[in-house]
Every structure is written in structure tokens, then in C-alpha cells.
Structure 1
Amino acid sequence: MSHIHIPDGILPTVIWVTSYLITLVIIFVLCKKMDGEDVRRKVPIAGVMAAIMLIAMSIPLGFIPLHFSLAVLCGILIGPGLGFIVVFVISMMLAFFGHGGITVVGLNTLIIGSEVLIGAYMFRVLLKHQRIVPRVVLATVIALLVSVSLMVAVVGTTIGVAEALPANQSNHDHQDEVGDDKYYYHEDQEVINYTLDEAVDGQKYINFTGWSAVLTILLLGIFLETFVTTLVVKYFVKVRPDLLQTKTNT
């Protein structure tokens, strides 16, 4: 849900370079903490999760201007370490496909990776004494709220509040990287500086407008991703419960 589709040349250099450095440091630390045997056992499912996430983050849902990320599901099934690495690889591949520039890979990894880390940690540690459905629901909802907040904060403070709205983030995948859409970039690569109220007033979804449309889109997106994540985890509890009984540092 929180993938940023900003093209290259928009973000300040200090921001995207710093985000890359932080991402690489996190990957290094996570790799040092991984259990080799557990990683070898989970590499196949990590590959499957990467493929599923790539498809989910490339195709819009249609009836709602958002994408699934399935990052929390990834973190729950293969652990925060492998999950974060999968997010980095997927973010790089999506950049090659034109879903955002190479310069936003670090930011996308940090934002979507936060879903992996928070979701996995809450599911495996903080909520380990709860029943499976409440564990998944709480972990997914909180992780998505944090990542959406991070995305809005980053996009809103760097290129404008209009670009932080969910409908605009999704629409970027289906227009030219440089265009003259009302909420996107003009040919001279300048961002239209709408105020928050002006940007929100332009939002429409079904019969909702303004803040009602924005909140409806976000709540519906969170509900759908939580629902899908819960169903898949419940299935794995029945067929492969060993995947959910691993060390928290992997």
C-alpha cells in the first residue's frame, strides 16, 4: 500500500543517498543475526513470496486505487531478515519496470520494510500469547498504519501533499513518468504545490469526496490486505505450522 512512485530527479540527493545507506546498514545487521540453517530452509518460500509481492505491487486492485504489498505476510512467513531483503529486491525490480525511480529504492525499502519488521516482530514476540487471528490482524493493521504514515510524511515533506494521497500514488503507475496530470509532474519536472485542503478536495471515490474519499480508500485497503494476510496465515498454520515457529531474529 505504501510504495512510492516518484521518478528520478525529484528527491533531494541527500535524502535518497541517506535512505540507501540506512537500508544497506539494516540489511547488514539483519544478515549478521540470521540463522544459517533457518535461512536455507526458507529460501524457496522467500522466492515464492518475492514473485507474489512483485505481481501484487505491479497490478492495481481496480475497484480501489491501491496495491497490495503483502509485506506483513512476508515477514510473518519468512521472518524479518529475509523479508526485508525480499522487499529491497522487489523495490529494485519495480524501479527497473518504471514503478518509481532508482533513487527511491532505498526509501521504498525502508517504508515497506517497516511493515515486514513491525508485522513480524509483533506477530512473533509481542502477540505470541494471543490466538492466531488477533495476532495477524493487530500486527498487519499496526504495520500498515505505520508504513502509510511514513510514506505520507516522506512524500508530503519532499514533493508536496497532493502526491502523498493514495489515489495519486496509484495513478502514477498508469501514466507517463513525465506528464501534465493535475497532481503530477509537468514537463519541466516541477511539482504543483497544492495546499492540503486543495489536494484533498480533488479526491473522489465512488460517492465520497474529500477526506471521506481518502479515509475510505485507506481503511478499505487496510481491511483487504489484513483479510488476505489473515487467510493465508491461517492456511499455513494448518499445513506448515513450522514456518511460524522460528526465531525472531531471522
Structure 2
Amino acid sequence: MPALPAPRSVTEVSHIHIPDGVLPVWLWLSGWVIAAALIWFASTRSRGADVRRKVPLVGIISALVLVSMSSEIVPIAYHINLTVVAGVLLGPQLAIVSAFVVQVVLALLGHGGVTVIGLNTLMTMAEMLLGWALFRAFVRVLGRTRVRAASGIATVVTLAITTTLLVGLVAASGVTGATARETGALDPQNLTFASPFSEGVVGVGLFSGGEKATAPAVGLKRFATIVYTLGPVGWLIEALVTAAILGYVARVRPSLIFEGPLAPTERILPGDELGVH
């Protein structure tokens, strides 16, 4: 296979920073078709719910996810995604819409190509929906008073699973150039850290045109090793952030979590339909 131009970073868990023309057509086209079908399904299912009341929340959450995804913890080259937060607060249908909106804006700002919007949307959807489902399951087991614990565990499990999906996606592409990525302070050859804070701690790249790979493409096995070396640290950080956010929301506006958007079978707390407490 001829050498490909170095793509942008691809291992941001829920979005793939690869320019157009790198991934095979069958892969990115499949992503678009599946994503479009899910968005249509979500839109259809949302018609009977009180969507208008949730539109401002969708906008706020989408903006929050957008900024967090474009911000990097430099030493470990990790982007906080807040996808579990989005899934829990928006519910499954609106989370799907939010995932698409976020990835379209990121692509327009240069964070990945237009052709991979479909795949990026599917990855983000997977995190939001899986995080939503796991959080609900853990809350049932641990109880409503353990929101922080439930959200933290759900976040770690979700990110571990979706990272594995990402590695599988890169493997399925069969494109060697897709394994180039940012490695932060990690030396990709010997997997050691050197001067982890020499380039700063946090970087915001929303309008920088995306991140460029700082290491050459490697074999799939080494790629997976790098991902699983850097990933767990980021998962734990994101779990703490998610637990803090959802713990606060559970305290000041519990119905956003426990009743959930688009859940008419559960009792709405008095005053919540107007956002009053």
C-alpha cells in the first residue's frame, strides 16, 4: 500500500481526527448511512415528547461537549469528552441528535474530515447511549444517593468499551496511516514518559484546525498498546469530572437525572415542568 499523508490524531475515543481520503469508502459511507438511520429514528421517536422544552438543554450540553472535545490534557494527549454527562442529561433520543451536531461543528472547524462525520457521530452516540444505560443500571444497584459512584463507574466502563471499538475500527480500516496519533509525553517507541509537563498541562484547540499526529504511524499492536497505556489515566480523570458534574446536578436539579428526558412513564417532580425549584 502506498504511503499516505500523516492524518490527524485518531484516538480521541469518541471522534476520529482523520482527513478526507484516508479511510476506505465502504467504511466511512457505512458510517454515514447508519448514523443517518439512527438520527431519523431518534427524530421520529422524539416527536411525541416535550422536545421544545429540552432544546435549550441540547444546545448547552452540545456546546459543553464541543469545547471539552477540543481541549486536551497535554501530558497524556487525552480529550475530556463529557459524553456520559450528555447521555445522562439528554436521554437516548436527544443524545443522538446532540452527537451529530457536535461532530458536524468539529468537522467544520477542521477536527477531522467531512467524510468521517458519520463514523464520528456513531462513536459519540455509542459513548452517550452506553453511558446512559450503564448509569441507570448502576443507580438501580447502588441507589439514588450514590450518583457520583454510579456515574464514575459508568464512565470508566463506557470509555474502556468504546476505546476498544475505536481500535477495532482502525483495524477494520486496514489503513496503516490511521495509527498515527498524538502521544503527549509518552515515547511511542519505548513507552516511557519524559518531561510530562514541558509542553503544558491543558491545551484548547477549538479553532486551531485540529490536532496533528506527533508520532509516525505504527503497527496495530503498538497502536493498541499506546492507546491502552494513555487511556486509563484519561478515563479516571473523566470519571472524576463526570461524577462531580452529575453529583451537583443530582443535588440541585434531581429530575434531570432521575426522571430523565423523554421518560413519560416516570413521575415528574412538581415544578420541574417549568424548571422551578
Q: TM-score, normalised by structure 2?
A: 0.72
- Answer yes or no: is 1:39 the counterpart of 2:51: yes
Is 1:222 the equivalent of 2:238? no
Query: What is the CA–CA distance in structure 2 between the aligned matches of 1:41 and 1:123, rounded to whole Å?
Result: 23
CA change 1:157–1:13 in 2 (3 A) is same
- The amino acid that maps onto 1:6 is I
Distance apart, 1:113 and its partner CA: 1.0
Distance 2:83 2:177 in 1: 25
Determine which structure has more spread, i.e. the larger CA radius of gyration. Answer: 2
Cα deviation 1:18-40 (Å, max 9, x = unaligned): 11110111112222223644422
Tell me which of 35, 54, 73 is aligned to 1:61: 73
- By how many angstroms is 1:135 displaced? 1.7
1:142: which partner in 2? 157
Cα RMSD (Å) of the superposition? 2.8
1:246 equivalent to 2:270? Answer no
Q: Using the TM superposition, name which of 226-235 and 152-161 deviates more.
A: 152-161
Would you say 1:154 and 2:169 are equivalent positions?
Answer: yes
Aligned equivalent of 2:33, options 21, 27, 32: 21
Question: 1:123 Cα shift?
Answer: 1.7
Write the mapping of 1:178-189 to structure 2, written as runs, cut at 5 A.
183=216
The 8 Å contact of residues 165 and 214 in structure 1, kept in 2 or not, is answered as no
Is the 8 Å Cα contact of residues 72 and 140 (structure 1) preserved in structure 2? yes
Provide the aligned length of Structure 1 versus Structure 2. 225
Of Structure 1 and Structure 2, which has the larger fraction of its residues in helix?
1
Map of 2:187 onto structure 1 = none
Distance 2:215 2:86 in 1: 35
Residue 78 of structure 2 aligns to a residue in which SS?
Answer: coil
Q: What runs of 5+ residues in structure 1 fail to find an aligned partner?
A: 184-191, 201-210
Aligned to 2:109: 97
Q: Match of 2:245, SS?
A: helix
How far the C-alpha of 1:116 sits from its partner, in A, is 0.5
% same residue:
34
Q: How far does the alpha carbon of each residue in 1:183-241 deviate from its partner, in whole angstroms, 9 at most, with x for none? A: 2xxxxxxxx5x4345657xxxxxxxxxx4x65441111000111100000000011111
Counterpart in the other structure of 2:219: 195
SS of the residue corresponding to residue 60 of structure 1 reads strand
CA contact (8 A) 1:151 1:164 kept: no
Runs of 4+ in 1 over 6 A off after TM superposition: none
**TM-score, normalised on structure 1?**
0.79
| Cα separation, partners in 2 of 1:221 and 1:164, compared to 1, 3 Å | farther
The whole-number CA distance in structure 1 between the counterparts of 2:215 and 2:131 is: 35
SS at match of 1:8: coil
SS of match in other structure, 1:63: helix
Contact kept in structure 1, 2:103 and 2:121, CA below 8 Å: yes
Deviates more, 1:148-157 or 1:213-222: 213-222
Is this contact kept in 2: 1:54–1:94, CA < 8 A?
Answer: yes
- Segments of structure 2 that go 5 or more residues without pairing to the other structure are 1-11, 185-202, 264-277
